[in-house]
Amino acid sequence: MDSRSRPIFVLGVPSTAMAVASAMIGANPGVFGVPDLNIFAEDRLETAFSEMQRLGPAHADGLLRTVALLYAGDQSIEALQMAKRWVFRRYFWPSEMVFAELCARVAPRRLVDRSRVYGVRAAAVERIRAAYPEADFVHLVSHPLRAAQNPFARRPKRDDPPPVPGAAWAEGNAAILASLKDVAPAHVATVRLEDIAATPETALAEVSARLGLRADGAAVAAMMRPEDGPFARPGPAGGAFGDDRAFLRDPAAAHRDFTAAMTAPLPDEAVTPDVADLAARFGYTVRAEAPATPAAPAPTDA
């Protein structure tokens, strides 16, 4: 497969920080970064698109905005109406066939799909790998004690127990690792968000080189301005979203907040041993809780 047509998929526990870093990768001049397409959420566009609409129109906006820009040259209300017609003309196509058309449309650039739902659905990654065995994946990670609001997580209820530090982080990243376990290491780049925040020129050049993309100064400079991307702001009515809302509301502020959050001191908290072990796999050092001392057996009558 020609490397120019080989897509790149960005996975991670959904958060505003992931949105910022994903937009940076999608700003490399050798690629075309898109918002949430969600095409591989199901086997066919019909079921994927209808499910996204059922979850809320915003979940379908990324595909509509992408089609509008690629086929009409803008994201106006009229272009979004055209995009809806484009979708319904392909409604019963297999998902991989729809995605292949978009890849061909952006060629010779490579398409970067950062759909957040892929990080929480192993079946989506299975579909991607079946359609694109040579696809590249970027797994974005951060320290388990950095707070991140996952928009796909269940909202806590009043009587829920207090959250365990790092537990949601571990669950999400363990699921992503499981979905990538059979992918050749050459096709998986694990990138720490802290590295992008602390030394963006170095980290972005390294991930670009790993993906076979331009890693020169001009390419990296473009990647350091995710707020300049064509999807880094709300669209018009009928296609306003398609990405993290905090990022869309003010991408420049989200970028600044990303840098501040990823370089801020960490809380002094201990995590469970399994969280600490997983964190070590990504190069993080985390204090593990001491194992609980077993309770002494109750005395028995002689």
AA letter at 21? A
3-154+163-281: CATH topology: Rossmann fold (3.40.50)
Q: What's the number of CA atoms in the CB half-sphere (13 Å) around residue 298?
A: 2
Share of the chain above pLDDT 70, in %: 89
Question: What is the chain's mean pLDDT, rounded?
Answer: 91
pLDDT at res. 299: 64
Give residue limits of the domains in the chain.
3-154+163-281
**pLDDT tens for residues 149-161?**
444 444 556 665 6
CA 122 to chain centre: 13
Other CB atoms within 10 A of residue 94 CB: 16
The token pair at 168 is 């949601």
What's the predicted TM-score (pTM) here? 0.91
pLDDT at res. 150: 46
Q: Are 289 and 48 in contact (CB under 8 A)?
A: no
CA distance 206 to 69: 29
**pLDDT tens for residues 58-103?**
789 999 999 999 999 999 999 999 999 999 999 999 999 999 999 9
Mean pLDDT of 21-49: 97
Residue holding tokens 């001191």?
A: 265
Residue ranges of alpha helices (H) inside 73-115 are 77-89, 95-106
Q: Positive or negative CA dihedral for 36, 216, 257, 137?
A: positive
Higher pLDDT, 33 or 289: 33
**pLDDT tens for residues 96-151?**
999 999 999 999 999 999 999 999 888 999 999 999 999 999 999 999 998 654 44
Q: Answer yes or no: is pLDDT of 4 > 50.
A: no
